[in-house]
Amino acid sequence: DQQVKQNSPSLSVQEGRISILNCDYTNSMFDYFLWYKKYPAEGPTFLISISSIKDKNEDGRFTVFLNKSAKHLSLHIVPSQPGDSAVYFCAAISNSNSGYALNFGKGTSLLVTP
Amino acid sequence: EAQVTQNPRYLITVTGKKLTVTCSQNMNHEYMSWYRQDPGLGLRQIYYSMNVEVTDKGDVPEGYKVSRKEKRNFPLILESPSPNQTSLYFCASSLQFPPYYEQYFGPGTRLTVT
Q: What is the 3-state secondary structure (H, E, C) of chain A?
A: CCCEECCCCEEEEECCCCEEEEEEECCCCEEEEEEEEECCCCCCEEEEEEECCCCEEEECCEEEEEECCCCEEEEEECCCCHHHCEEEEEEEEEEECCEEEEEECCCEEEEEEC
Judge: A42–B107 Cβ closer than 8 Å, yes or no.
yes
pLDDT band, residue B98 (cuts 50/70/90):
low
Chain B residues with CB under 8 Å of A107 CB are 42-43
Q: Which long-range contacts (CB under 8 A, 24 or more apart) does B6-9 make?
A: B6/B89, B6/B90, B6/B91, B6/B106, B6/B107, B6/B108, B6/B109, B7/B109, B8/B109, B9/B107, B9/B108, B9/B109, B9/B110
Helices and strands (H and E) in chain B: how many: 0, 11
Task: State the smallest CA–CA distance between residue B105 and chain A in angstroms.
Answer: 5
The verdict on A48 touching B (C-beta cutoff 8 Å) is no
| Residues 6 or more apart in contact with residue B96 via CB below 8 angstroms | B30, B31
**Residue A99 pLDDT:** 63
Residue B99 in this model has a pLDDT that exceeds 70? no
Comparing alpha-carbon positions, the chain A residue that sits nearest to B10 is A41
Across the interface, which of A32, A43, A106 has its CB nearest the CB of B107?
Answer: A43
Across the interface, which of B4, B99, B102 has its CB nearest the CB of A102?
Answer: B99
Size of interface A-B (CB pairs under 8 A): 53
The CA distance from B75 to B46, in Å, is 12
- Residue pLDDT, tens place only, B47-94: 999 889 989 898 899 999 999 999 999 999 999 999 999 999 999 999
pLDDT band, residue A4 (cuts 50/70/90):
very high
Judge: B90–A44 Cβ closer than 8 Å, yes or no.
yes
**Residue A27 pLDDT:** 87
The CA distance from A33 to A25, in Å, is 10
| Residues 6 or more apart in contact with residue A63 via CB below 8 angstroms | A48, A56, A57, A75, A76, A78
Chain B residues with CB under 8 Å of A43 CB are 4, 90, 92, 105-108
- Residue pLDDT, tens place only, A62-113: 999 999 999 999 999 999 999 999 999 999 988 766 566 778 999 999 999 9
The verdict on A70 touching B (C-beta cutoff 8 Å) is no
Across the interface, which of B59, B98, B104 has its CB nearest the CB of A95?
Answer: B98
Half-sphere exposure of B107 (CA within 13 A, CB side): 8
Residue A24 in this model has a pLDDT that exceeds 80? yes
**Residue B40 pLDDT:** 82
Per cent of chain B over pLDDT 90 is 77
pLDDT band, residue B32 (cuts 50/70/90):
very high
Task: State the smallest CA–CA distance between residue A48 and chain B in angstroms.
Answer: 9
The verdict on A102 touching B (C-beta cutoff 8 Å) is yes
